[in-house]
């Protein structure tokens, strides 16, 4: 150790304290620093999380009792369209890109992303897209009337989106917003891939890279082949609506089914774009709180890559009821079921990592336990729905809604919350309150299970999705009420999180640079990290560089 020099880091970021607020705002607006852009992504996504969550609450109030007239059918259509679009394009993708932006360069020992200005461009164009979507509330009917939000559903099936059935501009706002968000997503994905391939620090071979960058690499690769088709389809839809083209115009021989194919070629890989980062957080958090190295690193990488490939061949399982024919049905049932194999490998590897470890039930870890349990159930209902005959029975029912919310909330949001508690000390330099964190966990867990466990049942009893109200006495009443109560618990849990984040920022315990005794490079720099990340570029010789430093007598490199 005597040969290792002590690095004197000159941290200019500390001198930014106490500057005029206008300068600080200017700095954030013009920044190209990956950490600041990452944080802006996260804050922007959290605003949309609140907006989208509010829309969900309104829908649950409307459905809590039969024959309710809390909102009109038109408003209800707008609510579920805006809720879906917001949560997928303006909450899910940006927040995961934001976390990736923040963490990927730190974990691979780089000072910034490969293209910092492209990074800023991608963020601002996504932010603009989100504002455009909500501007439809003002400008949706043109300048001469009050606005109306898009009401075509988040997958906007043709021919509902044609000028005849969707007059005014609300659908155009939807199209443009999704198109621009796609441009931003492709830009950020390009940046992530290039950063990972070209910016790794010395010694970090692909086989030594932490699993989080690995999964972000697969996720970004999926964005190219999944989001681009949607972008292309939005161009076609705009041509249809403005230049009188006939892509999805059934009157002129166009095909509504073609839109379904184009949408779901995007739509299903999109699920994996969202869930792979959730896996990535689990891959980092579970080993640290089990005090063991990740079990089966090569198998995890292989499983992630194969999930990426298989996910490109499953899209038409969203279209069984459209009639694919026996050959199409067989192929897509088979491909969908096959994807549970690599996913199963992952679950077993996480369990094997926990097995025999010295488990620490800190808040990040309990969220991961919730994630593991709920992701398993979400996968099991997924296998049920992948069987075409079962799907014919339950397609477009609340069973489907419950299934995909189990993935999106039960798996992705739980993993994301775990990641918040885990990396918050790195971002702010303060610990979050453990007590409040446990309150958040239990409130959200109870709320989640009240809402989404009970939502399966009205689906099986025949309640279709996207209806704005229902008759009493069909056996749906009590169940829908319980679902609504669960939503309140979830909202309460989220408020606890918001309070915890704000309170801890000012009053939290000092975190130091490595509060969890973790092993990846981001914990070797001060919290919050200086703008240049690493004063001297690190060199690594194993998958857990900080373990090697803390245990020079027994380095990982001897075993890999």
Residues that bind another protein (CB under 8 A): 1, 3-7, 9, 114-115, 186, 189-191, 193-194, 197-200, 202-203, 220-221, 223-225, 227-229, 231-233, 235-236, 239, 243-247, 252-255, 258, 262, 265, 513-514, 523-526, 534-541, 545-546, 549-550
CA proximity to 228, closest of 274, 188, 194, 179: 179
Dihedral angle computed from the Cα positions of residues 481, 482, 487 and 492, in that order, rounded to the nearest 10 degrees = 120
Shortest distance (Å) from residue 447 CB to another protein: 38
Q: Which residue is listed with tokens 């885990």?
A: 422
Shortest distance (Å) from residue 205 CB to another protein: 9
Count each helix (H run) and each strand (E run) in the chain, helices first. Answer: 18, 0
Shortest distance (Å) from residue 175 CB to another protein: 15
**SS3 of 538, please?**
coil
Shortest distance (Å) from residue 196 CB to another protein: 9
Give the nearer residue to another protein in terms of CB position, either 168 or 526: 526
Those residues with Cβ within 8 angstroms of residue 388's Cβ, 6 or more apart along the chain or in another chain: 320, 329, 332, 333
Give the nearer residue to another protein in terms of CB position, either 237 or 487: 237
Q: How many angstroms separate the CA atoms of 366 and 357, rounded?
A: 15
Beta carbons of 416 and 95 less than 8 angstroms apart? yes
Shortest distance (Å) from residue 193 CB to another protein: 5
Give the nearer residue to another protein in terms of CB position, either 149 or 223: 223
Shortest distance (Å) from residue 328 CB to another protein: 15
Q: How many angstroms separate the CA atoms of 41 and 47, rounded?
A: 10
Shortest distance (Å) from residue 260 CB to another protein: 13
CA proximity to 46, closest of 115, 92, 101: 92
Q: Could you give the angle at the alpha carbon of 273 between the alpha carbons of 332 and 309, nearest 5°?
A: 45
Give the nearer residue to another protein in terms of CB position, either 146 or 536: 536
Give the nearer residue to another protein in terms of CB position, either 155 or 481: 155
Q: Which residue is listed with tokens 């914990």?
A: 523
Give the nearer residue to another protein in terms of CB position, either 236 or 345: 236
Give the nearer residue to another protein in terms of CB position, either 19 or 205: 205
Give the nearer residue to another protein in terms of CB position, either 200 or 405: 200
**SS3 of 243, please?**
helix
Give the nearer residue to another protein in terms of CB position, either 83 or 318: 318
Shortest distance (Å) from residue 241 CB to another protein: 12
Q: How many angstroms separate the CA atoms of 497 and 363, rounded?
A: 12
DSSP states of 345-391: HHHHHHHHHHTTS-----HHHHHHHHHHHHHHHHHHHHHHHHSHHHH
CA proximity to 372, closest of 411, 331, 402, 321: 411
Shortest distance (Å) from residue 351 CB to another protein: 30
């Amino acid at each position: 150790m005597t040969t290792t020099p002590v690095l004197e880091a000159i941290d200019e970021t500390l001198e930014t304290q106490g500057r005029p607020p206008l300068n600080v705002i200017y700095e954030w607006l013009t920044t190209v620093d990956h950490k600041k852009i990452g944080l802006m992504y996260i804050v922007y996504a959290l605003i949309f999380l609140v907006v989208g969550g509010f829309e969900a609450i309104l829908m649950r109030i409307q459905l809590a009792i039969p024959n309710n007239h809390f909102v009109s059918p038109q408003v209800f259509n707008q609510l579920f369209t805006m809720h879906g679009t917001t949560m997928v394009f303006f909450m899910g993708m940006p927040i995961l890109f934001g976390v990736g932006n923040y963490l990927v360069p730190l974990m691979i020992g780089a000072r910034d992303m490969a293209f910092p200005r492209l990074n800023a461009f991608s963020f601002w164009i996504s932010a603009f897209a989100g504002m455009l979507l909500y501007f439809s509330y003002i400008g949706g009917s043109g300048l001469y009337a009050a606005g109306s939000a898009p009401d075509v559903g988040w997958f906007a099936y043709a021919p509902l989106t044609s000028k005849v059935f969707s007059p005014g501009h609300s659908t155009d706002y939807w199209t443009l917003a999704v198109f621009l968000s796609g441009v931003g997503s492709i830009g950020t994905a390009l940046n992530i891939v290039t950063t990972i391939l070209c910016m790794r620090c010395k010694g970090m071979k692909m086989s030594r890279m932490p699993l989080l960058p690995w999964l972000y690499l697969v996720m970004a690769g999926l964005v190219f082949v999944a989001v681009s088709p949607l972008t292309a389809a939005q161009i076609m839809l705009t041509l249809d609506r403005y230049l009188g083209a006939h892509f999805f115009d059934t009157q002129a021989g166009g095909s509504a089914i073609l839109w379904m194919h184009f949408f779901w070629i995007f739509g299903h890989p999109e699920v994996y774009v969202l869930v792979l980062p959730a896996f990535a957080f689990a891959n980092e958090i579970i080993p640290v709180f089990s005090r063991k190295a990740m079990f089966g690193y090569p198998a995890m990488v292989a499983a992630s890559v194969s999930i990426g490939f298989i996910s490109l061949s499953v899209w038409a399982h969203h279209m069984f009821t459209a009639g694919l024919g026996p050959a199409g049905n067989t192929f897509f049932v088979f491909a969908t079921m096959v994807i549970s194999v690599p996913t199963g490998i992952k679950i077993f590897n996480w369990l094997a990592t926990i097995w025999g470890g010295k488990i620490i039930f800190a808040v990040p870890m309990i969220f991961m336990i919730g994630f593991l349990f709920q992701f398993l159930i979400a996968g099991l209902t997924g296998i049920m729905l992948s069987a075409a005959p079962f799907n014919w029975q339950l397609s477009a029912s609340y069973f489907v809604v419950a299934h995909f919310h189990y993935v999106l909330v039960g798996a992705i949001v739980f993993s994301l919350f775990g990641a918040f508690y885990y990396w918050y000390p790195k971002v702010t330099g303060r610990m979050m309150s453990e007590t409040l964190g446990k309150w958040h966990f239990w409130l959200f867990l109870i709320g989640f299970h009240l809402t989404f466990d009970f939502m399966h049942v009205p689906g099986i009893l025949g309640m279709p999705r996207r209806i704005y109200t229902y008759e009493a006495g069909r056996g749906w009443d009590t169940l829908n009420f319980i679902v609504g109560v669960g939503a309140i618990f979830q909202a309460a849990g989220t408020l606890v999180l918001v309070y915890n984040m704000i309170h801890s920022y000012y009053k939290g315990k000092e975190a130091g640079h490595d509060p969890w005794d973790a092993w990846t490079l981001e914990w070797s720099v001060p919290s919050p990290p200086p703008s240049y990340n690493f004063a001297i570029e690190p060199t690594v010789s194993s998958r857990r560089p900080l373990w090697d430093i803390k245990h020079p007598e027994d380095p990982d490199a001897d075993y890999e």
